[in-house]
Structure 1
Amino acid sequence: MEIINRESRAYVTWTLLIITIGVFIIETLSGGSQNYQTLLLMGAKTNDLVQVGQWWRLITPIFLHIGIFHIFMNGFTLLYVGQILEPMVGHWRFFLIYMLSGIMGNLASFAFGANNAISAGASTSLFGMFAAFLALGVIYRENRFLRELGKSFLGLIAINLLMDLTMSGIDIWGHVGGAIGGLFLGYALGLPKISRPKMIFRILAIVVVVVISYYMYVKGMIVYG
């Protein structure tokens, strides 16, 4: 089984990184990336604003960052991990995993997070990328490379979530939601040109993503409505 197309380039990874850096520059020039009003103006998530109908705040936070250290760590992780994952799964699969995991992470934050907290960052999407490796390791467990890669990223997810519990100002629900999204999306999409998993299981994984997302949105609207 061919795992990586060596001729493929991580075009989507680089595009997402460039957009993220561009947005950070705009943040900085518009009042500062740690300025509350600037973050709100550019689309950071607060639950009360999502509740009144500003649904785009479940998407825009993926590209916003709070401070130089925040964007440096997330940007480096996106570049490093994306250049491994994107050539494996292909450009459009990678884009879907990145974006939809990020949205699911923001939905989890909306449903279970603090009402007045401001939320921004690509870490929801990054946890989705980590969990996608875990899904691939499960689907193609006879492949030692993917199996070991899945174990490594499972360990990385666990360590990061444990660290989240000991640190203030970290949106752990966003990370959990992103990881759940990446796990099921990775299972649903699999690797290109390989007819595994079976279509019925792919469809079930997509249904799970939709049901969980809808539940979190409704829960957020009920709690904060």
Structure 2
Amino acid sequence: MKASFWKSNPVTVTLIAIQVVVYVLMTLAGGSTHPAVLLQFGALQAGLVHAGQWWRLITPVFVHIGFAHILINSITLYFIGMYIEQLFGHWRMLVIYFISALAGNLLSADWLPAGISAGASTAIFGLFGAFIMLGMSFRENQAIRILSRQFLILVVLNIVTDLMVPGIDLAGHIGGLLGGFLAAYTVAAPRLGRVNMLERLIATVVLVVGLVALFLKVS
């Protein structure tokens, strides 16, 4: 990556770098598709969350199952991440990313109590959700509106694929999408303009209540 990209998008670059390092370490530890290795490095398993390992609601975002998984997620994060980081700012993107991961993993733990899941896609779907929020809040910005519409189409296609392909964590994707959408309202996007305060308040309340309700349900 060019130095200029790193300077403009340090959060995106750092997130990609961390998941690549984790993937290499998993490969050296026995393979990124081995269940024991996945759990060792922080993959999500609802039973372990019930047992008090709450960090598994966040750590799965850095864990990937196989080379194709991390390749696709890293490329997707590269492209959507640079948009979100430039439009929202560094710390706001970080908040959106991890709230999306938390929301997606909470819903996944609730829907798939027996399986193992991992990957950055919960958070990436949250970034898509954030862009959809921009399209709704800044309709007068033609470029934002067009990009938001394109990302919405991509989300719909991905969800349809999730329904058709076994083994995909649909719950995690939906939870991440909703979490990112609501979190984007909460942090707003001052680089683009003001977001309606009532909409921000409603989104924040829904987000907090939803996260607390899911947390209590899986605990």
- TM-score by length of structure 2 reads 0.93
Of 67-76 and 206-215, deviating more is 206-215
Q: Which runs of 5+ in 1 are unaligned?
A: 1-5
Q: Does 1:77 align with 2:71?
A: no
Once the two structures are superposed, what CA deviation does each residue of 1:54-107 show, in whole Å capped at 9, x if it has no partner?
A: 100001000000000000000010111111221111000111111110111001
Query: Hey, what's the Cα distance between the residues in 2 that align with 1:217 and 1:48?
Result: 13
Of 147-156 and 118-127, deviating more is 147-156
Q: CA shift at 1:145, angstroms?
A: 1.0
Equivalent AA in structure 1 for residue 147 of structure 2:
L
Equivalent AA in structure 1 for residue 44 of structure 2:
K
| Structure 2 residue aligned with 1:165 | 163
Secondary structure in structure 2 of the residue aligned to 1:141: coil
Equivalent AA in structure 2 for residue 215 of structure 1:
A
Query: Hey, what's the Cα distance between the residues in 2 that align with 1:190 and 1:143?
Result: 16
Query: Hey, what's the Cα distance between the residues in 2 that align with 1:28 and 1:22?
Result: 10
| Structure 1 residue aligned with 2:214 | 216
Q: CA shift at 1:189, angstroms?
A: 2.0
Q: Taking structure 1 as reference, are residues 149 and 100 closer, same or farther at Cα in structure 2, changes over 3 Å only? A: same
Query: Hey, what's the Cα distance between the residues in 2 that align with 1:164 and 1:198?
Result: 33
Equivalent AA in structure 1 for residue 116 of structure 2:
I
Q: CA shift at 1:198, angstroms?
A: 3.1
Say which of 174, 187, 190 aligns to 1:189: 187
| Structure 2 residue aligned with 1:3 | none
Once the two structures are superposed, what CA deviation does each residue of 1:189-213 show, in whole Å capped at 9, x if it has no partner?
A: 2212555223343232122111111
Contact 1:111 1:217 in 2 (8 A): no
Once the two structures are superposed, what CA deviation does each residue of 1:129-154 show, in whole Å capped at 9, x if it has no partner?
A: 11111000100111111111111111
Equivalent AA in structure 1 for residue 78 of structure 2:
L
Secondary structure in structure 1 of the residue aligned to 2:118: coil
Contact 1:110 1:216 in 2 (8 A): no
Secondary structure in structure 2 of the residue aligned to 1:191: coil
Query: Hey, what's the Cα distance between the residues in 2 that align with 1:96 and 1:13?
Result: 12
Q: Taking structure 1 as reference, are residues 71 and 193 closer, same or farther at Cα in structure 2, changes over 3 Å only? A: closer
Query: Hey, what's the Cα distance between the residues in 2 that align with 1:193 and 1:72?
Result: 31
Q: CA shift at 1:219, angstroms?
A: 2.2
Query: Hey, what's the Cα distance between the residues in 2 that align with 1:182 and 1:152?
Result: 17
Secondary structure in structure 2 of the residue aligned to 1:153: helix
Contact 2:96 2:184 in 1 (8 A): yes
Aligned length: 214
Secondary structure in structure 2 of the residue aligned to 1:163: helix
Identity of aligned residues (%): 43
Say which of 138, 153, 156 aligns to 1:155: 153
Q: Does 1:112 align with 2:111?
A: yes
The runs of at least 4 aligned residues of structure 1 exceeding 3 Å deviation read: none
What is the RMSD of the two structures over their aligned residues, measured on CA atoms?
Answer: 1.5
Query: Hey, what's the Cα distance between the residues in 2 that align with 1:111 and 1:169?
Result: 16
Equivalent AA in structure 2 for residue 153 of structure 1:
F
Q: Which runs of 5+ in 2 are unaligned?
A: none
